[in-house]
Structure 1
């Protein structure tokens, strides 16, 4: 192609048509520039498409993570609610000093003491942060919500760690000296089955102020954890809606 253009210019010069030569040269320059601009535009479109495809992949993975996290959040919120209710019942035993049903006592006792955790499924979001690729997400609202969810989880972890230390000091250590954990598990797993349980162990527990304080703290902190998790769930729901819209754009 270059040889073809050069031959045309040489013919124009040899024929003494300098005016046409310069016009042709200018036209040729314009044509080359135009070709370069088209090539740059094509390259820009390709790069943008590549970036968008990469973003879509990340968004789909984030959406999958959020939906899984939502499912687990719903379960743990219900468990925190149940623990709060059981801790309230256990606390009331210390006010009345009366336990009509040992099975119920051990059921609620085990329900409170059973340690359960939820860890977020935000794998893709963490990978984007660790790899410095969070900027691939172009929707600022999505990024802000993900950062808020991560921050709220860190706050929840602090309280949960505090609660675990409370459980160790107020429940696990004192109860381990006189109560049979196996009885509690049987009553919890088979609440309608008649089980031979120790009333003497229960009466010892009802005289222990440390244990009573433990149930008070368990009621308070499990309820706070439930509220924190519910707030996270609300933000997860909002993020799911935004991410789905962003994928469909």
Structure 2
């Protein structure tokens, strides 16, 4: 090819057609430059494809890591939730002094439950089961991810922050328990009841010591904070999984399937005209909201008087996590009017379609 072009240039020179020679030479240079640019663009496309495959591999590994935390024999979400329900009911009875001597004797689990080996073990279990190494690795190179991954990066950072809060609260509660245990050991020789006399003293202490009941109240509140923080971490795992599915090109049905894998259920749809049903707010939690349509919507949190007190916009094909009290309402607005209302349920998701 090079010899072919060289012969043409030589012929033009021997024919004294210098102007044509220059035009041809310039044209040849332009063609070479265009060829180089095309080659560079193809190389950039190939590089971009390789980088995108690497990012998708990161997402696949992250999704598998999250699923492992759900399938692990030590699943903190399941263990803490089940234990909290059991423990909280016992602590409530003690706090309100609703147990008598016969009930304490019939069930020794009611006696100083905060210091049981099972309870101590729950607090001391390795919280690193919920560390997302792949998520941390993604955040370390977040500058290499294009704009479409921005929301995933936000969710990963929120998960990381929530995880640290949970670890801190768990550690602080454990240290408080240790301190209280040390106090009890120093003050009361019967602290580890070994015989019927010690058990009688422990029961009398549980029924009549107001300071103990006050400590139980504080401890119960702290344990509730742990569960709330853990629930938030779990919810962010679901948000992340749904966002991974969306970024991977999953359909609305695929995203619903992923959300429901974590035992989330769709919120109940209620009429926009119903302003008479009594709303009773319960626990506060974060919910998944997915706009599967091609248009943006405004979503309002409603108070018990059916009035919006906080609003936010959700873009087309966007997945968000937003908080509201169980038993209250989200209202989706379109063209300035109520489009749909959804009643918040525990572990519920809202799908706009």
| Counterpart for residue 219 of structure 1 | 220
Q: What residue in structure 1 maps to residue 5 of structure 2? A: 5
2:77 pairs with 1:74: yes
Matches within 5 A, 1:226-237: 226-237=227-238
Q: Does the 8 A contact of 1:112 with 1:218 survive in 2?
A: no
Asked if 1:135 corresponds to 2:139, the answer is: no
Q: TM-score, normalised by structure 2?
A: 0.58
User: For residues 205 and 68 of structure 1, do their structure 2 counterparts lie closer, same or farther at Cα, with a shift above 3 Å needed?
Assistant: farther
Match for residue 108 of structure 2 among 99, 105, 110: 105
Q: 1:181 to 1:127 in 2, by over 3 A?
A: farther
Aligned residues: 234
Matches within 5 A, 1:76-225: 76-92=80-96, 94-102=97-105, 104-106=107-109, 109=113, 110=116, 112-116=119-123, 117=125, 118-119=127-128, 120-129=130-139, 132-138=140-146, 139-171=149-181, 173-174=183-184, 177-180=189-192, 199-200=199-200, 202-203=202-203, 205-206=205-206, 207-225=208-226
Cα distance, 1:28 vs structure 2? 0.9
Higher helix proportion (structure 1 or 2): 1
Q: Give distance in 2, aligned partners of 1:181 and 1:246.
A: 58
* RMSD over equivalenced CA pairs, Å: 3.0
Q: Which runs of 5+ in 1 are unaligned?
A: 184-195
User: 2:306 maps to what in 1?
Assistant: none
Aligned counterparts of 2:141 and 2:60: Cα–Cα separation in 1: 15
User: Aligned residue for 1:64?
Assistant: 64
Which structure has the greater CA radius of gyration?
A: 1
TM-score normalized by structure 1? Answer: 0.78
Distance, in Å, in 2 between the alignment partners of 1:36 and 1:210 is: 82
Greater relative CO (CA pairs within 8 A, separation 6+): 1
User: 1:113 Cα shift?
Assistant: 4.6
Q: Is the 8 A contact 1:125 1:146 kept in 2?
A: yes
